[in-house]
A and B are shown apart, each in its own frame.
Chain A
């Protein structure tokens, strides 16, 4: 039991600050997301009290707008998704028979970035004003002209940290689910929860870069003075496209893990596999793909093209067909075996019940004609709370009860669990159903039509009951930690892999390597497993340090400037420390890896990351093309920009791609000095690119072409500036590679780092190959 000897006890603070174990990080995510749930809930109660009696002045209009905005942002981005990822962190590796996630330190990094992102977002309350433009951040209300608060900048930077966290998580879960499955565990045989998490991260991969691009547009307009969102050619409609391309997939991103939980709970409660399992998986995949083709239904009233609106009406209403299939398959599954009633089952069934109401009313909103009157009303508020709180949050609560015994080794109090369920359902419906009746209330107003008062009062009472019901859960979980009955390995007599190990599992998860290669679970080679376990590392201080550095640097920009320099120093030191740390992440030599048998884990991670970068630049370039198409005039090639600067830089950058290829070839040929030389040449070329760009920008500034001078200037500076930042980041990594190469580190046994750097560098070059003609030649 050597691995236990160096494992820190649960009471150790150092353990929780430095852990990279997926189970510990799951617990951290869980506690943090529940904390944010309380914060978001208190904000909701504040404005529900205001709404109960508009004549009282609990919140003034500005405070009211902050409360509803931050309530939305916190609940969607900092509660539901992270709660889902708390469960995913804990459960997915167990369900697929992995020892940990593919990149344990990156997993810790995701968590700390999330926590600090949340802290930064909340700090904005204590500045002049938190974000106040609604969680949808509509332009041009978010521009500094209409929202001139430094707190809004702080909140935006907090959201940027969150998107970084999500990107890192996405890379990690994609690599883990594709590369760390037990033998015989094909994608088709994946447990339902893991399958929904897989679809969730794939949606995140393409949705979150759009949010990041949006935040970049807002931040650049506010801080640098570009005119994307303040100009009528960009403005409201540009923002709508960018935001909802993220925003609609996001609602499925928060929902899918809950659908996975509900499936698991139904299966365990009936002791049968899901009815129509393959059909459900296909339906879910269809939803995930379609989720990127329905964003226009949020723009039915904006006057976009009639035919496009009809297409979005079809896609949006039609997406209910695969949803019907999923929900009906769940209901048919309930009629497959004898149902054993438990708190998780009650929450799962309750979630289905209210989700049906939310889903049906969602179809109303898919109708362009109905949307004319429904958009912006409480009908929408009621609908998305029935889906996101009802289907999403309550589904995840089912998961919390379901896996609590696995996480703690103790059973919770079933009677308290049922009392929680009953009060939560009463509170939920009393809170949200009256909002359907009072649907004519405009969203986000403290004052509304007086005849609707009674419904808002009922909703407030429901809100209090719903909020208090969670105290029962908190007490239950807290009390049962000490006093609960021992859970044993498999209290629900469920059949997925997480129940085949101890509760809670020790580091390394399984006493032996699980395998499904015979079509049934077996454990193999006990000794080998223990041998591997002793080697794996479970602690690193760098994820916390890097996140802290990032947090302080960003806080230095908008909270207090004294934080900036220490932040950058902490960041730089900890990034280098991270790179130099000897950290062993375990990977089984075999397993089920379709379709990535030939792509190693790190490479798959890189490709996933680059895919998210492709989306980011795709959105930024689309934004440029969008405003250009909307503008009546645009400078001809050569009029604003000097083509020669662009052409020179194209030549420089392409040459630098070539030198990276030569560096890799030299390393593989074990010519270590030559590898260092080619890397050095790459650095020189990269610096030349930056220097040339510096001159180009300086000349432009001298001619009065600045960030804010026009849309052509804004789009040029921002898009090529983001690209330049990528080049700069690459150069910083290159300095580190050269330092190691000069010490003879890279040779025929050790060239992967150069290869991975090469992917990034080639990608950055390819982006330039698009930017050059788009900005200089047409």
Chain B
């Protein structure tokens, strides 16, 4: 199990794509290189050379190609369906989430909790409890990204986008901005600090 539910879903989908992609790459490249070598060395080949000015003659159905198309269609359908099932999971937040408003600005992150508590740069969150981020921006287009948690969603002025996850492992996770937003874009970082429910509670209800 990975550090968060979203990371779990996204990275296992990524691995599906990577496995199928690598397989396709190896087969196609292998086939191409094999035939390249073979046909560079060939002395006798079938058919006669096309002469200057000869137009393409009509040819029969390219069966090899049609079979390949059917195969790639099968791969495509697989990839689309696995995407849809991951999406369905990612886009169905549980009802009892902790709702945190994330406001991006040049150049930092502000977090507002349901009780009005507002912090800058570092958000403390409990583990083992769904957290739903409501992401927006105060100025320009940003992207709220915590790659290690499988989180990524655009922060757009005038619009609120949501993303949810359950974090399984306590720790500090780096937030970065993934959409160019001006000279401070590279240093627009923040942290998500995941702690136990009790620790979170005492922080959340306490003054600090």
Contact = CB atoms under 8 A, between A and B. Distances in A.
B153 A235 contact: no
A360 B24 CA distance: 8
A270 B65 CA distance: 19
Given A236-B141, A339-B40, A442-B176, A369 B161 contact: no
Contact of B80 (A317, A325, A371, A448): A317
B153 A271 contact: no
Interface string B29-53: 1011001101110110101011111
Contacts of A328: 28, 65, 68
Interface residues of A, number: 102
Contacts of A497: 53
B147 A377 contact: yes
Contacts of B73: 321
Interface stretch (A273-281, A462-470, A548-556): A273-281
A479 interface: no
B180 interface: yes
A285 to B, nearest CB: 15
A620 interface: no
B179 A303 contact: no
B48 to A, nearest CB: 9
Given A189-B55, A301-B152, A352-B32, A337 B49 contact: yes
Contacts of B91: 306
A338 B39 contact: yes
The residue among A276, A332, A444, A514 with the most chain B CB atoms within 10 A of its own CB is A276
A61 B154 contact: no
B156 A361 contact: no
Interface stretch (B56-64, B93-101, B120-128): B56-64
Contacts of B139: 140, 146
A360 B80 contact: no
Contacts of A303: 153-154, 156, 159-162
A277 B151 CA distance: 45
A495 B51 contact: yes
A125 interface: no
A356 B29 contact: yes
Contacts of B68: 324-325, 328
Contacts of A236: 140-141, 154, 156-157, 159
Nearest to A499: B52
A445 interface: yes
A329 B39 contact: no
B74 to A, nearest CB: 10
B120 to A, nearest CB: 20
A375 B53 contact: no
B187 interface: yes
B10 A313 contact: no
B203 interface: no
A373 B140 contact: no
A138 interface: yes
B171 interface: no
B86 interface: yes
B39 A138 contact: no
A141 B52 contact: no
Interface stretch (A15-23, A420-428, A516-524, A611-619): A516-524
Contacts of B14: 364, 370, 373
Interface in A277-311: 277-279, 301-303, 306, 309-310
Interface in B170-189: 174, 176-187
A645 interface: no
A101 interface: no
A495 B65 contact: no
A490 interface: yes
Interface string A118-157: 0000000000000011100011110000100000000000
A309 B84 CA distance: 10
A370 B14 CA distance: 7
A730 interface: no
Contacts of A440: 147
Contacts of B31: 331
Interface residue range, chain B: 35 or more
B147 to A, nearest CB: 5
A587 interface: no
A570 interface: no
B143 A278 contact: no
Nearest to B179: A376
Interface string A97-109: 0000000000000
A61 B184 contact: yes
B29 A337 contact: no
Interface string B111-126: 0000000000000000
A372 interface: yes
A495 B49 CA distance: 10
Nearest to A316: B80
A446 interface: yes
Contacts of A272: 47, 49-50
A327 B65 CA distance: 10
B59 A277 contact: yes
B145 interface: yes
Counting chain B CB atoms within 10 Å of each CB, which of A236, A267, A446, A497 scores highest?
Answer: A236
A360 to B, nearest CB: 4
A376 B117 CA distance: 30
B204 interface: no
Contacts of B56: 188-189, 273-274, 277
A368 interface: yes
Contacts of A368: 83, 87
A443 interface: yes
A324 B158 contact: no
Contacts of A65: 180, 182-183, 185
A372 B208 CA distance: 33
Interface string A473-505: 000000000000000001001110101100000
Contacts of A376: 143, 145, 152, 178-179
A141 B50 contact: no
A493 B54 CA distance: 12
Contacts of B174: 449
A305 to B, nearest CB: 12
A721 interface: no
9 contacts: A65-B182, A134-B180, A236-B159, A276-B62, A302-B156, A324-B72, A367-B79, A376-B143, A493-B52
Interface of B: 6, 9-10, 13-14, 17, 21, 24-25, 28-29, 31-32, 35-36, 38-40, 42-43, 45, 47, 49-57, 59, 62, 64-66, 68-69, 72-73, 76, 79-80, 83-84, 86-87, 90-91, 106, 139-141, 143, 145, 147, 150-154, 156-163, 174, 176-187
Interface of A: 60-62, 64-65, 132-134, 138-141, 146, 184-185, 188-189, 231-233, 235-237, 267, 270-279, 301-303, 306, 309-310, 313-314, 317-318, 320-321, 324-325, 327-329, 331-332, 334-339, 341, 349, 352-353, 356-357, 360-361, 363-364, 367-377, 440, 442-449, 490, 493-495, 497, 499-500, 514, 516, 519-522
Given A140-B141, A275-B64, 13 more contacts: A138-B179, A141-B182, A273-B56, A273-B59, A275-B65, A279-B65, A325-B69, A328-B28, A336-B45, A364-B17, A367-B79, A376-B143, A520-B53
Which 7 A-B residue pairs are closest in the complex by CB-CB distance? Answer: A232-B158, A521-B53, A376-B178, A276-B62, A445-B186, A61-B183, A303-B161
